[in-house]
Amino acid sequence: MTSPAGTASVDAPETIERGFGLPRPRRPRSAGSLRGLRSRVLQTAATLLGASVLVWAIVPLAPGDPAVATLQARGAANPPPAAIEAVRGQLGLDRPLPLQYVDWLGRALRGDLSRSYRTDVPVAVELVQRLPATARLAGAALLICLALAIPSGLIAAAFAGRWPDALLRAVAVVGSGLPGFVVGLLLIEFVVVGAGHGQALTDGSLAQVWLPAVSLALGFFAILARFLRAALLDALDQPFAVVARARGVSRPRLLLRHALPNAAVPFLQVTGYFVGHLLGGSIVVELVFNWPGLGSYVVGAVEARDLPAVQGAALVFTLFFVLSALLADLVARAIDPRVA
Amino acid sequence: MRASGCRGVRRSWARSGSALTTAATLVVALGACGGSGDSADTTATAAPTSTVLRVAEQDFGGIMLDPAVSYGVARQGYGELLMTTTADSRVVPALARSVERSRPTAWKVELRRGVTFQNGKAVDGEAVAAALNRQLSKRAGLKDVLPGAKIAASGRLEVTITTPKPDPQVSVKLAESDSFPVYDVSAIEKAKTDAGIAGAGAFTGPYAIKTLTAKKMVLERFDGYRMGTPPLAGVEYTFVKDPPARLAAVRSGQADIAEAMNTVGVKRAVASAGDVLFKLSDAPLDGIRLYFNLTRAPFDDAAVRQALLMAIDYETIATRFFDGTFDAPTGLFPGTYPDNKPTIATDVAKARSLLDAAGWTRRGSGTRSKDGKPLEFTILTYTQRPELKTAALALQSELAPLGIAIKINDQSYDSKLFADLAGWGIALYVDYALSGTGQPDANLPNYLLPDGFANFGRIDDRKLTSLLRELATAPDDATRRRVIGEVQDVVITQKAYVGVVAFKRDGVVVSKDWRSYVPSVDTAAFKVVDFETHPG
């Protein structure tokens, strides 16, 4: 990986002493920036459209009749054929699938995500009700991730090749290999049931977010920590770091004032992509803790072949993924205009 | 047909565990049965407490409250039916004082005096007729249950149901768990949304819905309940999708009862945890029915079908494969049903000789064959009911020593899979052990008549069809019972058209404070909460 500071001039110690090891940022040209932004927006729209086509193509391929699944989701164990036919007509499932998709897309473009097959409530309303809980969970998990990953990455880089680095590597391997739901089940068994702390059934509030957030964060923090370590070591190999070391800058100062800001840009971009993954990872963790967010919603929707609900949730997940990546890119550009 | 209101005796007995309480309950309840019945009935139960029962309930992704589209209204303590079914399959009055046949084509429903909806409106003839008519017109498929029926108030506390043809089963149909709950139609229609219905007091049960969200439903005591003050201050349902999460909720003290826990392994998990209890319902609700594909070899031969039913060790399946949480069948219906005929029994030696006689012979320890074709087939199951895969695995292991080779095809449920008769030899399907009414009548045509929607194996038997037509118009109970007996003879003993692998009881996990709780199967549906539910 090439550090954005890789071209920093060794003849400009004042630049190094300013702390960031970067030349004075210049404002990006607004026309180019606008073009870039327009291109990203178009990419986002194309991604959303592609995701919607995929969902409509894949979900109906799964075996199972949506009308039966809908009735079963409403509590009818063995719905009779007359009820199944009636529901099929009510939901418009008797029309060809492409027609259903075009109808859905037309309404979606007007902001109407259709009604859930199971509950007959507008999907947009259900998503809005559940989105804050998922956002809280992902936000808290991200905070925990960063709070653990940044110190861990710094320690691993500072003691590269020594026992703290080896220990953190081992933690990373175990952490990234341990699925969030396993961590969740262990936390419930030993922390909630065993020690009597926290809740097995959570209500979506900030007060109860920490156990699910820890379950979600553990796998991701380890990967982020390893990434930060690599970026820091890369920065420490750059000429500006060599010069700084030659000028007698202490190792902690070198790491914190010089290497970290240089490693921040790629780290930030990767973190942006991880936000999307956090949302995806939240699906199973939400089930384990009964967290009332989008994850448990989408699992029920898939089980019941509730196509509008699956589609709505998929759009939200895709949008979050794309937007978080976009946001990370924009922040990275703001820090270092050469990123573009 | 007339039944008197002795409701309440059985479960109080089962739950209290105290001889004194039981005796007192019995005396008071019997007194109520023999009384005039002119007023709202009362029965002895626990004194009102401040306890709120917390239930970790299944999550279907959002509960619907309008009875025209929702199912199991009588299940959670807020709704009621005119009639109900006891665990021993007696259909008895619930909200109705009596339901009797006044003419061959007319039934008179007499209502209890002084009963109100939770919002204070009277439960009178007009209100009940409005609810039943709305169900008939709005609920999908219900017109087939009472075809051409006219329902009207015939007195202040009386409703008359008139059918175009004599229908001996009207009172039983009123006990159908999903069909005819009684509710305040104007309140439901005015509320429009589920959140609105939640606070409308539109039902008659002992607990009224106070609030409803996607993850929680809160019920509070209905002080004006017809049988007296309910024992609990309220009931709080938390909807939890994941069964282990429901179990964890009880173990961590967040819930008192975890619902729908009769899945393989839960009983053992509970036993090893030691801090909670596993409880089974007092009667089975579902049956794992075994359908033979009659259109193809080897099951186009009745002898092979009979041999296979005899070769299954039902007791082992129930006790070992299902941890004793299922009942071994002795016939087409559960043992709790009084007219169940013992027609199913394990006899491996006879099964062997039947197969030999049918030409399916075996050399050494290989697979049996006939005319060069091996005795092998596929068992079709569906993933929505994991118990089916367990049952299929049990059959596979039990029938292998007899030289029968089985493949298992476990797929997400799709009626097309069952319709594809080239794809399976045996299909396993979870169905009501009896039917939604607690009686077998409504369900038998579904899987035994040629046009029945669950007649997967293509049964087309003149005698059976004639018997089922006779059952549909049986003029009296004696005729009905005789016909049901003959149906069992044909279906199992003579032709072995279908079998039963096991009957499933519902299972719950309870905290030690609720050790006496027994899941009830009133209305042929597992009832979480009713008037008699109390801690202890």
A69 vs B contacts (CB less than 8 Å): 413
From CA B273, how far away is CA B264, in angstroms rounded? 16
- Residue A295: closest CA among A184, A151, A171, A169: A184
ipTM (interface predicted TM): 0.72
Give the Cβ contact number of residue B360 at 10 Å: 26
Strands (E), chain A: none
From CA B129, how far away is CA B108, in angstroms rounded? 12
Alpha helices in B455-524 (DSSP H): 462-472, 477-488
- Confirm or reject contact between B242 and chain A (CB < 8 A): yes
Looking only at Cα atoms, what is the longest distance across chain A? Answer: 85
Q: How far is B442 from chain A (nearest CA, A)?
A: 12
From CA B381, how far away is CA B417, in angstroms rounded? 9
The answer to whether B406 and B379 are in contact (CB under 8 A) is: yes
B454 vs A contacts (CB less than 8 Å): 78
Residue B520's pLDDT is 77
Stated length of chain B: 536
Which value, in Å, is the radius of gyration of the alpha carbons in chain B?
24
A85 vs B contacts (CB less than 8 Å): 140
Scanning A55-74 for CB atoms below 8 A from B yields 62-65, 68-69, 71-74
The answer to whether B227 and B6 are in contact (CB under 8 A) is: no
Q: Which amino acid is at B203?
A: F
Pairing relation of β-strands B234-240 and B52-58? parallel
Element holding B221 (H helix, E strand): strand B216-221
Q: How far is A45 from chain B (nearest CA, A)?
A: 29
Scanning B166-225 for CB atoms below 8 A from A yields 178, 194, 214-215
From CA B401, how far away is CA B348, in angstroms rounded? 10
Collapsed DSSP state (helix, strand, coil) of residue B475 = coil
Average pLDDT, chain A: 81
Each residue's pLDDT expressed in tens, for chain B with a length of 536 residues: 333 333 333 333 333 333 333 333 333 333 333 333 444 454 556 788 899 999 999 887 767 899 988 877 888 999 999 998 887 778 899 999 999 999 989 999 999 999 999 999 999 999 999 999 999 998 877 888 888 999 999 999 999 999 998 888 899 889 887 789 999 999 999 997 888 999 999 999 999 999 998 889 999 999 999 999 999 999 999 999 888 899 999 999 999 999 888 776 788 888 887 889 999 888 888 899 999 999 999 999 999 999 999 999 999 999 999 988 899 999 999 988 889 999 999 999 999 999 999 999 998 889 999 999 999 999 999 887 888 999 999 999 999 999 999 999 998 777 788 999 999 999 999 888 787 777 888 889 989 999 988 899 999 999 999 999 999 888 888 999 999 999 999 999 999 999 999 998 888 999 999 999 988 776 556 678 888 888 88
Task: Specify the pTM.
Answer: 0.79
B249 vs A contacts (CB less than 8 Å): 200-201, 290
Q: Terminus-to-terminus CA distance in chain A, angstroms? A: 16
- Confirm or reject contact between A79 and chain B (CB < 8 A): yes
Q: For residue B195, what is the nearest residue in chain A, using CA coordinates?
A: A121
B412 vs A contacts (CB less than 8 Å): 62-64
A74 vs B contacts (CB less than 8 Å): 60, 64, 69-71
Q: Out of B56, B62, B255, whose CB is closest to A118?
A: B62
Residue B132's pLDDT is 96
Distance of CA B403 to the CA centre of its chain: 36
Dihedrals phi, psi of B519, to nearest 5 degrees: -60, 130
Burial of B295 (0-12, 13-18, 19+ CB in 10 A): exposed
Residue B44's pLDDT is 53
CB contact under 8 A, B245 and A62: no
- Confirm or reject contact between A199 and chain B (CB < 8 A): yes
Peptide bond into B440 cis (omega under 30): no
- Residue B497: closest CA among B285, B309, B288, B297: B309
Alpha helices in B35-157 (DSSP H): 125-138
Q: Out of B61, B144, B411, whose CB is closest to A300?
A: B61
B411 vs A contacts (CB less than 8 Å): 63
